[in-house]
Chain A
């Protein structure tokens, strides 16, 4: 199944998520007009989501994103781990 969500998140930017999944996530693409420094971090966030169960909790998604942000000392602007997790969770409904 392929699903798509798009939201203007509370931090102000648009986040779009396209996910392919059955019981687990097999593909996830995040796009939007936000800023993330360094930019390559987004590839890691997408990869981390693969093989997670479709009903993965919001809290787990937030934690995974936060860990990557911390590891890279990355800065998100116009989005946050929570708002990104929210759009991913919405897409997996």
Chain B
């Protein structure tokens, strides 16, 4: 099986999530190979899990003030603040049969690629089921998976830097006031690459590519014209729509 690797791209939240879905569709019908992609979010964005309520999780007023996009993902899990400078996001899209039926085991395989990438940067990391990667007991990466129409889509983020103040201002964190104590508490639970390594973001990206492709037959490629067209449709008609945004 030959994989397609789509190198680091930057899109807005709506196109990023729409492209994951468009690629899932094309992998399902066999017009595209299994795909690994890496991407940034610009503008910065908050994504919420499929089952979350956007009003519960996101301070929409602050997002508007800061120009932060808000989007509901196709996958479950929690709310995530995507900072352009502070993270790299990946997606793995392949026939579900490529991975174990057991969802935790499949998280373990893909998160294992991230762990290897971190190790190559000299950062000792561990997979913590369900969907986290920890460094010295602190979360550095979270992932979310869905399986629809026989296709597995897993996407996740790897934190490069931390901007906790903005993160807490855009997320409704238990509706508590943002306090120094709260930020200190988060610092004790969350970490990022820059706290453990001098590697540049480019070097981190290269480490991820090497780890994700190790032992695989692959080639670099781009999303197809059809995938881009479908992603633009989904971006406009689904991911930007109020119906989708306020689904729960």
Contacts and interface: CB of A to CB of B under 8 A. Distances in A.
Interface residues of B, number: 21
B130 A35 contact: yes
Interface in A66-82: 75, 77-78
B76 A36 contact: yes
A9 interface: no
B103 A31 contact: no
Contact of B51 (A12, A36, A38, A75): A36
Interface residues of A, number: 18
B191 interface: no
A38 B76 CA distance: 10
A29 B248 contact: yes
A77 B130 contact: yes
A31 B56 contact: yes
B77 A38 contact: no
A30 interface: yes
B147 A33 contact: no
Contacts of B60: none
Question: Binding site of B, secondary structure by majority: helix, strand, loop or mixed?
Answer: loop
A33 B51 contact: yes
Contacts of B77: 33, 35
A76 B60 CA distance: 29
A33 B130 contact: no
Interface of A: 12, 14, 16, 29-39, 42, 75, 77-78
25 contacts: A14-B78, A16-B53, A29-B53, A30-B51, A31-B53, A32-B49, A32-B51, A33-B49, A33-B52, A33-B76, A33-B79, A34-B51, A35-B76, A35-B77, A35-B130, A35-B144, A36-B76, A37-B145, A37-B147, A39-B148, A42-B51, A75-B103, A77-B76, A77-B103, A77-B130
